[in-house]
Structure 1
Amino acid sequence: MSKFCVLGGGRQGTAIAYDLLKFGNPSQVIIADVDLKQAEASTAKNKSLLDTDKLLAVQVDVNDQKQMLELLQDMDVLISAVPYHLNTKVTDFAIQSSTSMVDLGGHTGIVQAQLNRSHEAIEKGITIVPDCGMGPGMNVTMALLAMEQLDTPEHVRIWDGGLPLNPVDPWNYASFFNINGLTNEYDGDAFFIRDGNVIEVPCFEDVEVLSFGDEIGDLEAAVTSGGLSTMPWTFEGKLKTLENKTLRYFGHWNQMIAFRQLGLFDLTPMEFNETKIIPREFYHHLLEPKLNENPKEDVCIMRTEAIGENGGKPTKAVVETLEYFDEQTGFYAMEKWTGWHASMMAIRIAKGELKSGAISVENAMSGTYFLKEGKKRGYKIDIKIENLG
C-alpha cells in the first residue's frame, strides 16, 4: 500500500484523489492546497462519494521549500495538479525528497527540462512522468493505441476537445480548467511531424471541419500548442506524419484569432491611463467569469487515427471515445479524462511497473495498457480497422 499526495485541491486534483482511492489501494491520500478550505472541500466531496478514512486535507504553500519537503518526506508518489509554471519548482522538491512524481504538464519546454533531469531521478530511485492529463496525456496514449493496431504505422492524427454539452452564445465554450493553461495552449507554436521531420506550426492554423455523428454533430478543429508533449521528437524519423488538433464549436476559433490579434494574449506590461497592466491578465479577468456563469454539463471527444500497413496491406485504424458529465458523482468529463490519466500513471509508479528516471508520457504507458485501465473506469473506447487496399 502506498501514500499519495495530490498537490492542488481544485477540479482535477479532486478527481485524481477519487481515482487513487478507488483503484490505487492506498494507505493514505493527502490533498494539499495553499487554501485549506479548498483542500477540505475536495476531501469532503470524495468522502461523500467513497466510504474512506484514508483522506487527509492539509495546507501547504508550493513556494515554501520547508513546508513542501516536510509534506513529502513520507510520501511515495506526488501528483501535481497545480498550474504548469509551478512544475519546475515541484520537480525540485520531488527530487530533493526522493518522491516519485506525476504532473498535468501543459508546457513542452518545462517538460523537456524535467526530462533532462532523469539522471537525478535515477540517483534518487524515483520515477517522474510529466505531461499527463487529457491533452497532452490521454490523447498521446490513445494515439499509441491506434498505432498498436498496425504493423507499421506511418501517419498519425489526433483530434480532441472538451466542450459544454449545451453551449450558450456568444462564447459557446466553458472553462473546465485553469484559464492560464487555456491561453497557453492558444499561443505560440505546435510541434508536428510532417514528411518525417519535426516542424513548428502556428496556433489556429489549418482549421478543418469534422463530423461526430448525430450525437455531437460537426465541430471545427484547429492547431493549438503543447498537445503532443515530446511525442514528435520520440517518433521523428519513425512516423511520416504526426498531428494534433483541438475541437471546438463553430465560431470559437475566429473569436480567439481576433482576441490574439487585438493583443490580449500579450504578457508584456503596457501603460493604460497611467496604470501598468498586463493584457493577458486583464483579458483573463474579463473572460473567465463569462466562461463560468452558465451551467456546464460537458462532453469530451477524442478521435485518433493511424494509417500504415498491417499484414502487408494498407490499413487505417481509428480509435474514438466520448465522455459525459457524471450526474452521480458530479465529475465533469474533463475532470475524469484529465485527472484519471494522471492517477493511472501514479498507480503504475506505485506498483513498481516503471523504472527510475524521468520518462516521457509516450514511453510510460502503452495504448493497450490504457485500454484495460479505461474499461475499469467505464470508458467506452471504440476501435475500427479498415483495409485500404
Structure 2
Amino acid sequence: MYIKHKVIIAGAGGIGRAAGLIMAEQPDFDCEIFIGDIQLDIAEEACQWIQKGASSLVNIESFEIKQDVVSEHMDYILKSADILLDCLPGSEAPKMAAFAKKYKLHYVNLTEYVDETNQILELAKDAETGFILQSGLAPGYVNILANHLYKDFVLQYGDQQVDHIAMKVGALTRITTNPHYYGFTWSPIGVATEYVKDAIVIRNGIKTTIPSLTETTDILIDGIHYEDDFTSGGAADLPDYFSGKVRNLDYKTIRYPGHYQWVKNQLAEIGSQPNPEIALLDKMKQVIPNVDEDLIVLYVGIIGKDVSGSIRIKERSLRIEPSFVGSHKLKAIQTTTAAPMLEAARMLLSGKYKGPMLQSQIDTQEFLSGSFVQMVFNQKKYRELV
C-alpha cells in the first residue's frame, strides 16, 4: 500500500538539513517535509538548500518554532504531520516530545542528555505513538550494532561468559597538527561536555560511573594508530540492559595520539570550578580549528569465552568519509547521525511500535538492514574479524 508520510524536522542545522536531503533522495520513502527552526531565516535557507541539492522535486515547507507560543501555522503543521524528528539542542527535547504526544505524532531524537531523556521516558509511558530516543551515531547506531554483535556472539559461542562489550567512535579530521591533534567537526560544546561529565560503564557485572578521560589506551584499526578514552553519553541505555549479563561494558571516544594528553593539561590548568566544560571550551576554541573535511572511525568488539574456555572475539570496524547526497557533499558526521534517526523514523511509521523505546529495545536486524542505514553504513564496508 502506497503511503506518503508527513515529516516534521525540528532544527534546521547541519543534522536537520542532512536528514531532509537524505529523505528527499531515498526512492523508497515518499514524504512531505516540514523543516522548522527557532530562527525562521535558518529554516528558510535550509529549505532552499534541500531543494537545490535534491535530484528531483521536493515537497518541503519551512516554519518558525516560537519559544513560548504555538503559532497558527505551527499548529496546522503539527496537526498535519505523522512524525517529529527532533534535531534541536537537547535542552529543547522535553518540549518537542510534549508536542509530539499532544498532537499524537511519533517522535525521534538524538540527545544524550540524561535528565531530558528521563523526562521524556516518563512523558511517553502512556503515549499512543512511538518515541525512539538517542537515535544518532553515539548514542544510537553504535549501541544497536553492539547489541547485534552480542546476539551473534551468544548464538555462536553461548552466553556462559561475555567479558567485554567495547564501543568506540571518533569524529576526526584527515589532517591534524600539534599540540592539540584535533579539529572540530561537530558541536564544540558537545565535545567539551563529553570530556568532563562522568561515563556510565559496567564493571564486574555492575553498572557504575567512571570519570571521563581516566583510561587512555591505544588501538590500531586498519593499521592506523589511535587513542581512546572514556567520555560521557555514548553508551545509551546499554549499561542498564546488560547489567548482570556481561562482566564489562564501556563506550570510548577515538582520537589521534597526543590529543587526550593536551586536553588533560588544559583541565589541570582550569582546576576545580562549577562549569569546567565552559572553561575547557574557551581554551579549545582559542587554538582548535573548525574543519569541514571529516571522517568517522567506529569500532565494536565482543570478547568472551566459548564452552571449552577458549577466548573468542567478534569485532567490526568502519571508516566513513564525506559523501555526496544529491548534489551536496555531506560531512561524515551528518550522514552517520541523520541516517540512524531516519531508520528509527521508518520503523515507527510502520505502526508496529508505541510508547518510549531506547537503543536496547530496537530490533537490531530490522534496523541494520534498513535502507537508510545501508545507504551510509553499507555492510560490505565492514572490516570483520571473527
- In the superposition, relative to structure 1, how do residues 98 and 267 fare at CA in structure 2: closer, same or farther (>3 Å)? farther
3-state secondary structure, aligned to 2:58 = coil
Identity of aligned residues (%): 18
1:211 aligns with 2:207: no
Structure 1 position 7, deviation (Å): 0.8
Of residues 43, 47, 56, the one that matches 2:47 is 43
AA in 2 matched with 1:126: T
Distance 1:82 1:311 in 2: 48
Q: Is residue 31–residue 43 contact of structure 1 (8 Å, CA) maintained in 2?
A: yes
Partner SS for 1:149 = helix
The corresponding residue for 1:272 is none
Question: What is the Cα-based RMSD across aligned positions, in Å?
Answer: 2.6
- SS of 2:329's equivalent in the other structure is coil
| Equivalent position of 1:130 in the other structure | 133
Q: Which amino acid aligns with 2:364?
A: S
Are the structure 2 counterparts of residues 254 and 286 from structure 1 closer, same or farther at C-alpha, using a change threshold of 3 Å?
Answer: closer
SS in 2 for 1:135: coil
Deviations 1:221-259 (CA, angstroms, capped at 9, x unpaired): 000011111111011112222111100112221222233
Shift of 1:283: 5.2
Q: Report the AA paired with residue 323 of structure 1.
A: I
Q: d(CA) in 2 for partners of 1:71 and 1:260?
A: 46
- Structure-1-length-normalised TM-score: 0.86
One-letter code of the match for 1:366? T
Structure 1 position 99 matched with structure 2 position 101: no
Which blocks of at least 5 consecutive residues in structure 2 are unaligned? none
Instruction: Verify the 8 A CA contact 2:179 2:262 in the aligned structure 1.
Output: no
Displacement of 1:70 = 4.6
**TM-score computed with the length of structure 2 as normaliser:** 0.87
The corresponding residue for 2:344 is 345
Q: Verify the 8 A CA contact 2:335 2:376 in the aligned structure 1.
A: no
- Decide whether aligned partners of structure 1 residues 384 and 311 sit closer, same or farther in structure 2, where only a CA change above 3 A counts: farther
Letter in 2 for 1:251: G
Q: 2:317 aligns with which of 317, 320, 335?
A: 320
The question of whether the paired residues in 2 share the 8 Å contact of 1:190 and 1:224 is answered with: yes
Residue matched to 1:366: 364
Superposition deviation, residue 305 in structure 1: 0.7
**1:347-378 deviation digits (Å, cap 9, x = unpaired):** 1111224x210111221241563145333446
Q: Secondary structure at the match of 1:156?
A: strand
Q: How many residues align?
A: 369
Aligned counterpart, 1:382: 382
1:27 pairs with 1, 24, 31, which one? 31
Deviation per residue, 1:168-219 (Å, 9 max, x gap)? 44433222222232222112211111211101111001110101234xx211
Instruction: Give the whole-Å Cα distance in 1 for the aligned partners of 2:321 and 2:187.
Output: 20
Contact 1:163 1:299 in 2 (8 A): yes
The structure-2 alpha-carbon separation of the partners of 1:280 and 1:377, relative to structure 1 and needing over 3 Å to count, comes to: closer
Choose which of 214, 223, 230 in structure 1 pairs with 2:237.
Answer: 230
Pair 62,257 (structure 1): closer, same or farther in 2 beyond 3 Å? farther
Secondary structure at the counterpart of residue 382 of structure 2: strand
1:14 aligned residue: 17
1:190 counterpart = 2:199: yes
SS in structure 1 opposite 2:166? strand
Match for 1:236: what amino acid? Answer: S
